[in-house]
Structure formats: C-alpha cells, structure tokens
Structure 1
C-alpha cells in the first residue's frame, strides 16, 4: 500500500455523503483535470499527425495506442491489485505528463515528423493499460460502499465536463501556439492532478495486508488466472460482464461511425450530427446528475437490465426517425438510458467485487469497453456500406438488447442491490 493515511474500513462508519467529503472532492478534481487533459491531448495528437503526414498516416498514429491498451489491460489489473490503485494512478499520471510535455518541447524546438507522435501514442496506450484498472479500483478506497453509486454519478459528470471543455481548450491551444502549445496545455492539466492525488487519503480494505508482498500473493500469472476464475465463478459479476460486453458491442458502432454516415445520408451535415451528439451528451449528463443527487437507486440490477433493454430500442430508432428533431430526441433517450445502465453496472462491479480483486475486475470490464468493442467500428462501417443503415442499426440494437435480457433473466443479477 502507499504511505498515505489508511483508515480501517470498520472505523469509517458512517460515511459522509461523497459530494460533501473533501477527500472525495480532491479525487474528483484530480480525475476531472486528468480527463480534460486527455481530451486536449487527443485533439493535439490528431492535429499534429495530420500536419506532419498524410491522412492515412495520421490514422495509423491515432490507432497506435489501441493495441498495447488491449493487450496489456489484464496485466494492468494485476499491477493495480498488487501495488495499490492510488500509487499506480499517481505513477501513470506522472509518466503521461512527462511524455506529453517532452513532445511539446520537441515540437516547439523542431519539426521531427511523425515518429515522436507515434511513440507518444504508444506510451499513452501502454500507460492506459495500467491507469484504467487503477482508476476503477480507487473509489472503493476513498469512500464507503453506500456512496459508490453517488461517486459513479460524479465521475460521469466529470467525463461529460471533460468532453465538452476539452475540445475547445485544445482548439484554442492550437490556434494560439500550434500543436506544441496544445500538448503543453494537456501536460499541465494532467500535472494538476498529481498534487491532488497525493493528498487523497485511502482506507485499508480486506486483503490489503498482502498488497505488494509477492510471496504472499504468488506470481503475477497466478494472480491473473485467479482473477479471471473469480469473475467466472461469481454469480453476479459473470453475467454482469456479459451484459456490459453486449451493451457496448451494440452501442459503439451506431453511435460513432454509424452516426456520421447517418447524418451524411440524411443531409443533416456536421451541424446536425453535432445536435444529435449534444442530445446524447445531455441525456448522459442527466443520468449522471440523477445518481449524484440520489446516491443510489433501489433494485440496481433490475434498473440496469431495463435501462439496457429500453436503450437498445432507442439505438435502433436512430436509423428510422425521418427528422433531425426526432434523431436528437432519440439520442437524448439513448444517452439517458445507456448512461444510467452504465453507472448502475459500474457501481455493481464496485460493490459486488472482493476488494482484493477490484483492479482485475475493472481490467476485464475495461478490456471489453475500451479494447475490444472499438474493433466493431470498421465492421459497422463496412456493414452499413453493404446493407444500409436500417439493418445494421437493427442488428446492433438486438445485440445491445441481449445484454439487457441477460441482466433480467439471471436472478442474482436482477436482484442485486447497491448498499444503503
């Protein structure tokens, strides 16, 4: 574990509401700053890659980070569980900050071409494989289980804020000083998270006495196999992972590549696509705000299953509504329902997992959401070109709906509750 003050879990009852807990708010500030920095970084990377090479070369640079993130994600979960998530998050942010600032300095001094951009993308992808599981495992160590639902709502609001603010900030950086200035801004935003994370206090959880003791925990491989075996044998986590995988698989293609093609074929243009995305963002933000205010929703498993199922209908409707206003309304429903189901699933992952396995559980979930489902985007684009928008959206909605059916048909998941 880290050298931070550790609070035994049994001595921390009752917990103050997460939105009034300075410790949680410091974590939230660090997380928000880091996510805004990420948004600025991705814009700066895409701009610099386009300026330094051809569109196809820029596409390769942008995709370089995907492979190490997917391949190394499960190992990142083992590292987060072995070393403690706070230590891993701090180290990951420090590496990301140093790498981005180094490239900013290089671009300011010279024009090195694509190789430093590709190397930066590779570093980011590798570090993300460790960062994502650690970020997912950290909330359980800064607040009580009864506040994890609210924390997920707050985290959702931070993500929405970063997506709205990050792109304009990155564009401003490029306009003022080019890609070098934008990378510098991204590095500074990530750097802001470091002092906040250092001041975050973590609590001891069962099994923390073995963290960092390899002799007590066995080999890294045995930890990985043990984590996968733990998930497979868990009566809630196993079907929950299937629900998450099917929901994401049916959602990612239509809301990324599919939406661009839909706006083009309907004649809505870029502004119309922007309105549809805005509708989705408002819906997702409303779901985050609901959970932030309420803290928990009763019958979380049932709510998640119903939200995934209803959300799949809204996903399918996007391809059939004839007007832009109808598409915005459908996207609003998609954002609200998928946002709600995503936060319910995330909170259940946190509360149902044994603390000793949280990093590995988050790694499996992250591998599905960030490593595997993006691979469906080129297939979605090819399928739309071959069969049209309607059939592909209908199949995607059916896949997404299967995730909801799994949640509703497995009794242990359907009856799962968030702690009070």
Structure 2
C-alpha cells in the first residue's frame, strides 16, 4: 500500500528537490514565452500574423530537426550538464529576443535566428530530462518522481496562463521575455548544483552519430509496446492539434461567447492535469501501458461535447477528464520507459518517442482550417474525437501493449538509497 506521506519522503533527497524546482521554474518560463512572444511580435511596427508565424516556425522546426541529435548528446555526456547547457542556451536566446523588442531593433532575420536557437535548446533539453530521472532517484521511486515533476510542471502551466498575460499588460512583451529568460537561467544554475557522481553519468560514446542513432532505433523498434503507442500518438496528436489549435477556438468564438469560454476549457484541462498527479502517485497497475492506453480513450470527450454543442460547463468537465487521463498516461509512460529501456540508450529512445509522437501535429493544424470551411468546425471536431478513439482502440489490439507487466513492487522503507 502506497501513502502520500511515503511518496513525499522523496523530497528529502536534495538532488531530486533541485531537479524538481529547476524543472518547475523552467516550465514556468516556457509558459510565459508564448504569450510574451506573440504579443511582443505583434506589437512591432508593421508586424502581421505572418511575421509571428515565421518566428514561431523558426523555433518549432529546429526543435524537431535536432531532437534525435539531442538524444545522442544526452546519451554520450552527463545528462545534468546537457540540461544545464540547454537551459543556458534558451536563456540566452530569450534575452536576445527581449533586447531586440526593448530596443526596437527587430529585423526579421535576427528574430528568426534567436527563435531557432531556442528551438535547438529545447531539442537538447528534452531527451536529457527523460534520461536523468533514473540517474537521480532509485528505481522503486521512479513513478513518484515522475508524478511530482508533473505536479510542478502542471502547476507552472496554470500559473503561466495567469501571470504571463498580466506581465505583458503591465510591462510589455519585451520585459515578459526578460522574465522568461531569467527563469531559464535560474533553472540552469539549479541543475548545475545536482553534482551527479561519475558512476551515474552516461559514458561517452566512441561511435559516430549515425551509429548511435541506429543503435537507438534498434532499441526503439525492438519493443512492440513502444512503437505501437508512439504510432498511436502520431495520429492522436494530429487530431488534438487540429482541435486545440483551430477548431475548438472557432466553436468557442461562434457559439460559446469567445476567448473567455475557451480559456475556461483550457483551465479545466490544466486543473485535471494537476488532479491527475495525485491519482498517478497512488496508482500502481501491473500492466501500466495497457491502463495508460485505455485512459487515452476518454481524452476525446471535450471534442465530442464541443462537436455536439453541449453547454459550456459540460465541456469544461470533459476537459478536466482529459487532463486527468493525459497526466496519468504521461506518468505511467515515462516510468515504464525508464524501467524498460537501458540507461545508456534512454535519451535516444526518448527522442524517437518525441519525434514520432509530434511529427504529424503540424499536419493537423494545416488541415483544420480547410476542414472547418468545407464541413464546419463542429463536424470536424466530431471527426477529431473519432480519430482519438479509433487510434487508441487500434493500439489496444497490440499484444505488446496489453501484455507488458511492471515488476512486482518492492517493499518501501521510506529511506532513499541516494
């Protein structure tokens, strides 16, 4: 039997607490960034929505392009140093963007360059984050660690929704970007203080980057549960991006009263993700990937309700359910990867996971607009709900997804081995 008190004992581990605080502050900085960047760019003389699209694309494309390289780097070098480098580069990129907005020197090539540097930093940071958790906590505390990291990240996202808008209104987009960059810098300092011992660091690889990528690919495709769920999410995320990015806001504007209604739906999802952490702390299923995949089915609920035209309060409740389910899935998924994938390959496999899961997201954004015009946003949302459900049910057909078992829980002593 697990208790919250025993779960929270992990906070006595100095290194985990440093990682938790660093990650929470970093996510808060990331939550500031979209609002600060959007309103800062749009406030520039002569700037248009196209200007903002170009800058955002300049950040997104390098993140995808360098994700696999980031996995190789994180498997070759000490992961806390890789994370420190990623946070530092991100801070520098945002300080440059802030300086341009505050001084009024904003040539588009310079804005694009700074945004691209931020994208590369995220590609370096993400695979190292997944891999560093087993370096910091014992194997029997992985799920607790992932859940608490999720609690910090989700709380930061909720706070970011509130604080970023207020900062932009009171101080302007440029100063909001300064705040964001400062948060990344603080996160880098905290990660530098982790001081992992040499035995816990990944050994430097002697192979070429391509050989390392091939090795990571072999680890990835050798596990049916892994590539099946990543394939599921490549389709699911496409539908979610279409619904969240375009179709949902359209329905909110046309039928629910506008931005306030959509903000309420997003807030419901965020609250659900925070609540999901407390379930994930206690939930120890013997078949974690089966349970996690089943939980992706109800994530279609808000899109179904939006498409059916139900009252706003029901859609908000549906978003809460979505948030709970996605958070529990994320904790079970990350914990299973960290248990099942060899430590020396974990960051590379994580980079294949991220790349595969996100690669069709832009397609969803591109087709959502034409679909809304041709068949209407509500029918298109019903289609997104159907895609989410069908992709989840298809993944459940896999014997690997249904059959993977977690190791038997060890007796918890309440003491940490690190």
Instruction: Compute the TM-score of the two structures, normalised by the length of structure 2.
Output: 0.88
The question of whether the paired residues in 1 share the 8 Å contact of 2:72 and 2:348 is answered with: yes
Q: Measure how far apart 1:316 and its partner are.
A: 2.6
Partner of 2:416: none
The question of whether the paired residues in 1 share the 8 Å contact of 2:96 and 2:114 is answered with: no
Q: Which stretches in structure 2 are left out of the alignment for 5+ residues?
A: 1-5, 410-418
- SS of residue paired to 2:224: coil
Provide the aligned C-alpha RMSD in A.
2.5
Partner of 1:301: 289
The question of whether the paired residues in 1 share the 8 Å contact of 2:75 and 2:348 is answered with: yes
Q: Distance in 2 between matches of 1:315 and 1:259?
A: 8
After superposition, give the CA deviation of every residue in 1:353-404 in whole Å (9 maximum; x if it has no partner).
Answer: 1111111111112213444424311212221221123432233223222342
Q: Within the alignment, does 1:310 sit opposite 2:298 as a pair?
A: yes
The question of whether the paired residues in 2 share the 8 Å contact of 1:24 and 1:142 is answered with: yes
Partner of 1:341: 329
Q: Distance in 1 between matches of 2:251 and 2:135?
A: 43
Q: Which stretches in structure 1 are left out of the alignment for 5+ residues?
A: 1-13
Q: Measure how far apart 1:44 and its partner are.
A: 2.0
Q: Within the alignment, does 1:243 sit opposite 2:232 as a pair?
A: yes
Q: Distance in 1 between matches of 2:166 and 2:402?
A: 47
Stretch moving more, 119-128 or 362-371: 362-371
- Match among 296, 307, 320 for residue 319 of structure 1: 307
Stretch moving more, 322-331 or 246-255: 246-255
Q: Measure how far apart 1:15 and its partner are.
A: 11
Q: Within the alignment, does 1:47 sit opposite 2:35 as a pair?
A: no
Partner of 1:153: 147
Q: Distance in 2 between matches of 1:255 and 1:241?
A: 20
> CA 1:176–1:115 in 2, change beyond 3 Å: closer, same or farther?
farther
Partner of 1:285: 274
Stretch moving more, 300-309 or 177-186: 177-186
The question of whether the paired residues in 2 share the 8 Å contact of 1:242 and 1:406 is answered with: no
The question of whether the paired residues in 1 share the 8 Å contact of 2:251 and 2:378 is answered with: no
The question of whether the paired residues in 1 share the 8 Å contact of 2:234 and 2:358 is answered with: no
> CA 1:226–1:116 in 2, change beyond 3 Å: closer, same or farther?
same
- Match among 162, 165, 178 for residue 184 of structure 1: 178
Count of aligned residue pairs for this structure pair: 401
Partner of 2:250: 261
> CA 1:259–1:172 in 2, change beyond 3 Å: closer, same or farther?
same
After superposition, give the CA deviation of every residue in 1:134-182 in whole Å (9 maximum; x if it has no partner).
Answer: 1121112111222222222222222222222224333343344433321
Q: Distance in 2 between matches of 1:41 and 1:23?
A: 27
The question of whether the paired residues in 2 share the 8 Å contact of 1:100 and 1:184 is answered with: yes
Q: Distance in 2 between matches of 1:151 and 1:230?
A: 24
Instruction: Compute the TM-score of the two structures, normalised by the length of structure 1.
Output: 0.87
Q: Measure how far apart 1:295 and its partner are.
A: 6.4
Q: Distance in 1 between matches of 2:311 and 2:18?
A: 44
Q: Distance in 2 between matches of 1:69 and 1:140?
A: 24
The question of whether the paired residues in 2 share the 8 Å contact of 1:152 and 1:288 is answered with: no
The question of whether the paired residues in 1 share the 8 Å contact of 2:237 and 2:358 is answered with: no
Partner of 1:276: 265
Partner of 2:211: 222
- SS of residue paired to 1:111: coil
Q: Within the alignment, does 1:386 sit opposite 2:374 as a pair?
A: yes
Q: Distance in 1 between matches of 2:176 and 2:272?
A: 29
Stretch moving more, 127-136 or 337-346: 337-346
